[in-house]
Amino acid sequence: MVAFDPSERGNAFRCTASSELPLGGTAKCDSTVAEVSPDHSTVARIQDSRLRKLLEWMEVDPRGNIRTWALTLNLSHSHLQHLFKQATGKALGRALAEKRLQKAAQLLVNTNLSVKDIASTVGYEHSSSFTRAFERRFEYAPRRYRMRKTGMKFDEQQILPSLRSFEQKEGI
């Protein structure tokens, strides 16, 4: 029998299971317990070692995909997604997309990488799909987001690099 506590579903989820063993013994299963931080970008505590490993992989390489991770953990992709949802209350695909977009926002503000390079770095094959997803999440296209967060005006972002190279060539 499996018991769920739906009142805790938002930030934590607890699952206890017991089943009759063939020889008459009883087993209790403390499945997973997770607490998701308010910004939903990190999981503070997970008891299931497979999910802890998955979260490490998501942090290190946001370009990874669910099917590959599931195979590595010797699980089906649907079972991995189910375990993740039980533990966090969040869909694995959405959590991965959020992780990718948070990393992209960080790169936009802290680096001079192009939007296309950032899209590739965080796991998007096409920069156009990255731009759409980023804009849905942050309400600004990546380039506009960078300008707002760094305080650089559009004209400065366009003109300064070419002005600097012109000055260098002319010796100004």
Query: Is the Cβ–Cβ distance between 43 and 55 less than 8 Å?
Result: yes
- Each residue's pLDDT, cut to its tens digit, for the chain (172 residues) gives 333 333 333 333 333 333 333 333 333 333 333 333 333 333 446 778 899 999 999 888 888 899 999 999 999 999 999 999 999 899 999 999 999 999 999 999 999 999 999 999 999 999 999 999 999 999 999 999 999 998 876 555 555 555 566 566 666 6
What are the structural domain ranges in the chain? 1-90, 94-172
End-to-end C-alpha distance for the chain, whole angstroms: 78
Distance CA 23, CA 3 (A): 23
Residue 48 parent element (H or E): none
CATH number, domain 94-172: 1.10.10.60
Is the whole model's pTM more than 0.85, yes or no? no
Closest among 100, 68, 71, 95 to 84, alpha carbons compared: 95
